[in-house]
Structure 1
Amino acid sequence: MKQALSIQLKQQILTVCHEKVAAQIAQLEAELKSLGESAASDTKSSMGDKYETSREMINLEKGKIAGQLANATKMRSILKGIDAGKALSTCEMGALVQTNQGFYLLAAAIGQVAVEGVNCFVISPGSPIGQQLMGKAAGDTFKLGPREIELVGVV
């Protein structure tokens, strides 16, 4: 069943996005906690170099996860700033856009989500497609590579 563009669909997609980001944050926080416990329980042995290498690898992994956590937290704040009940007539932050190629939500770079048979790409306004969409309204077209994409509707 293809669902029509609506405020309700936008709300459902945003709810899935919030859940996805919250799960990602919880997973990353758990990984950081686990690494912290691992580092604390790692005792110095007579093989000092092995201990130092292990601690450095843990610190590198913690740094990588901390960066991912900062990114996920930023995505969460972007999503919180979107009024899901607000109808929009042009493509801007928070707009759900239907094109002849599919659905897009201009928010954060979350990727593809599926709601009631509708696949929607949740993208950043700074992405190549996001930049092309910004400021456009239903009936407008733009080129993406060799394809011409038409905006069917915006909400």
Structure 2
Amino acid sequence: MMTVLEIKSSLLDACKNNVRTRYEKVQTAIADIVESLNDETKSSAGDKHETGRAMLQIDRENAGKQLMELENLQRLLPKIDIKTATDYARLGSLVHTNHGNYFISISHGAVTIGKIVYYCVALQAPIGAQLSGKKKGDNFVFNDKEYRVTSIK
């Protein structure tokens, strides 16, 4: 049986790996776009050339925004305190409810540890905002379902 700290540590590692993988994909996409832009520059001029170049510029801007979001997540991850136990849900808390288990961290989705599914959710996510500040025994309604907090670790 894993300790709470081991579970939280595994969940945090899953979040870090997710951000790292997404970061690498976006960097690769940006490199590909830059290469395509350079190829477009070498191509002949004309409307088709300008349209292709404009679309690549938009792709580059979008990838740049994704990269900034991922860099923000990379700065947030080390601040997630998994060692301090509190009686209320906050960043780094493991919250058990009658409708699932939640790790308040970043939006990553479901992670299975030892046959138990945990949902990694951000404080800004709708469910994260509902969980924030809740204590054991608190109730809230989310997506027309009544949730009860059964424990916070």
Normalising by structure 2, report the TM-score.
0.89
The aligned runs of 1:1-150 (5 Å cut-off) are 6-42=4-40, 43-45=42-44, 47-150=45-148
Tell me the alpha carbon deviations over residues 73-106 of structure 1, each in whole angstroms, 9 at most, x when there is no partner: 2122221211222223210112111111111111
Residues 79 and 99 of structure 1: CA distance in aligned 2, closer, same or farther (over 3 Å): same
Shift of 1:13: 0.5
Name the CA distance, whole Å, in 1 between partners of 2:46 and 2:126: 49
> What SS does the corresponding residue of 2:110 show, helix, strand or coil?
strand
Moved over 4 A (4+): none
Ranges in structure 2 where 5+ consecutive residues have no aligned partner: none
Name the CA distance, whole Å, in 2 between partners of 1:5 and 1:132: 26
Shift of 1:41: 2.3
> What SS does the corresponding residue of 1:76 show, helix, strand or coil?
helix
CA-based RMSD of the aligned residues comes to 1.8
Tell me the alpha carbon deviations over residues 108-143 of structure 1, each in whole angstroms, 9 at most, x when there is no partner: 222222223222222121222222211111222222
CA contact (8 A) 1:11 1:85 kept: no
Q: Which amino acid aligns with 1:123?
A: V
Name the CA distance, whole Å, in 1 between partners of 2:140 and 2:2: 22
Tell me the alpha carbon deviations over residues 53-81 of structure 1, each in whole angstroms, 9 at most, x when there is no partner: 11111111111111111112212222121
Q: Which amino acid aligns with 1:38?
A: S
Name the CA distance, whole Å, in 2 between partners of 1:75 and 1:9: 20
Name the CA distance, whole Å, in 2 between partners of 1:26 and 1:111: 19
Aligned residue pairs total: 152
